Amino acid sequence: MAKKKAGSRKLQGESNGASASQQRPPAEVLFADELAELASASADDPKPPGWQMSPRAVLSFVLGDASQGRPPKFVGRRAFLERCIVSLATNRGLMLIGEPGTAKSYLSELLTAAISGDSTLTIQGSAGTTEDNIRYSWNYALLVAEGPCENSLVPAPLYLGMTHGKLVRFEEITRCALEIQDVLLSVLSDRVMAIPELPEQSRSLYARAGFNVIATANTRDRGVNEMSAALKRRFNFETVHPIADIGEEMQLVQRETNRNLDRSQVPVTIDQDLTELLVTTFRELRQGKTIEGQGIDPPTTVLSTAEAVGTAYAAGVHAYYYADGKIEPTHLVRHLVGSVLKDNPDDLKKVRHYFDHVIKKRKHGRWKDFFDARDELT
């Protein structure tokens, strides 16, 4: 059995300081060697104050460089990524918007890892996010004992980013109430945070060079807590689109799936032909049109590239623990259900209809096996 070999496999990133017990090391740990190499190579290149490496090196890290044997980590147009990187060197923040699952958060993590060497200064936006989660709070035991002072202050990501000159990530900003979002107004405008509780000489925290904010928002959340016009003016907006080329999407899904399986010590890989089945299915259902041009009724859920990776990953784990370690079309179909069936029960009916009227007609490759597994759509 392949299972006996799992313990001896070295996880990707382990040599960079990522422990095998970590489910998901941050980018600056996972790619530590590559980041150090790029920072050293670009030491003499012009770079904005407070940045670890030059904008050219940041772009090379994110997009990859075939001549250097550096694989891409994000699929996107060069011009789009250049605009994102340049925005972070200006006095405006960067707002990444797009459909769920288009890797907005991953892109923000890669950029902060390359520019600041720390992607963990993250604010997770939600209905329960408070100003304390963004700016700072207090250690009440020390507050009672010593009064309001820097020793009793508990810094939040925005405070730390301004203090150390690092990028701060604000995920799902439109999930926060408007008054919470507007905490950023004075910070992005004047690069200063008022701390009225401290003594007069310490009441203003001025941002160090290198500080900025990357925020993300889903287009499907528009209208939940729409950003104020004043806050919008303090960001440059960039839209992260789904991957346009099916070949690039297939490469990404296969690469990320196998990386996740490797990290989980599951000695299974997904074959290219199965990746093609999965990615084609997700793209057609997402776009509401087949590759032959036939219109279909798309499900209401977002079948993103990230969802495709999750489905393939689950199929690999399933094959390892419950089968002979080889991913089959049946495993893909079985876990496709978990990606599709989220809110609307009719979505599963639409996928069954897609199998019966589109996949049934495809006889080449593994499509017949894929169609024969349609009984798993329950």
Q: What are phi and psi of 277, to 5 degrees?
A: -60, -50
Burial class (CB in 10 A: 0-12, 13-18, 19+), 179: exposed
| Phi-psi map region of 117: left, alpha, beta (phi>0 left; psi -120 to 50 alpha) | left
pTM of the model: 0.86
User: By C-alpha distance, which of 370, 218, 354 is closest to 283?
Assistant: 354
CATH superfamily of domain region 31-239 = P-loop containing nucleotide triphosphate hydrolases (3.40.50.300)
Tens-digit pLDDT profile for the chain (378 aa)?
Answer: 344 333 333 333 444 455 557 778 899 999 999 999 999 999 999 999 999 999 999 999 999 988 888 888 999 999 999 999 999 999 999 999 998 888 999 999 999 999 999 999 999 999 999 999 999 999 999 999 999 999 999 999 999 999 999 999 999 999 999 999 999 999 999 999 999 999 888 899 999 999 999 999 988 766 567 889 999 999 999 999 989 899 999 999 999 999 999 988 999 999 999 999 999 999 999 999 998 888 998 888 888 899 999 999 999 999 999 998 999 999 999 999 888 887 788 888 999 999 999 999 998 889 999 999 988 887
In angstroms, rounded to a whole number, what is the distance separating the alpha carbons of residues 30 and 334? 31
222 CB neighbour count, 10 Å cutoff: 12
For residue 273, give Cα distances in angstroms to 186, 232, 284, 329, 366: 53, 44, 17, 10, 7
